[in-house]
Amino acid sequence: MISVIISGHGDFPIALKESSNMIFGEEDHLTAVPFLKGEGIQTLQKKYQQTLKRIPKEHEVLFLVDIFGGTPYNAAAPYIVKDQRMDMAAGVNLPILLEVLSLRGHIPLKELLNRLKTMSQESFQVCSEHLENAKRIEREDEL
């Protein structure tokens, strides 16, 4: 099993967790750790440390953070360097979180991360491209 820690600036991680709860229901081993205005990296690392204490030792751990190189990312990096059962992905959004929650009990962490890289590219969609494609198909059907 993979335990998930969502972190980011402000209430973003809390809102992301609440949104996933609307779709999947309450999930075990999913924690939102916000980085709030006025806090420093040490405060965030203490929050991470408290969260990690509650995670079963046999679980792998995935940090999902908002921004690559931001404080939530930098605060988690030392834990990942020290423990091979942990890793981190930046750029978290709701489709990514839902994918993690649906797969985390079925595949190992490294395989999950590889799938997320592909899934992230697939979940980013541009409306005008879809409209153009639909128009092209419509024109082809008329011929």
Please identify every residue annotated as catalytic.
9
CA–CA separation, 95 and 16 (whole Å): 10
CA–CA separation, 61 and 40 (whole Å): 23
Closest CA to 72 of 92, 101, 55: 92
Other CB atoms within 10 Å distance of the CB of residue 17 = 19
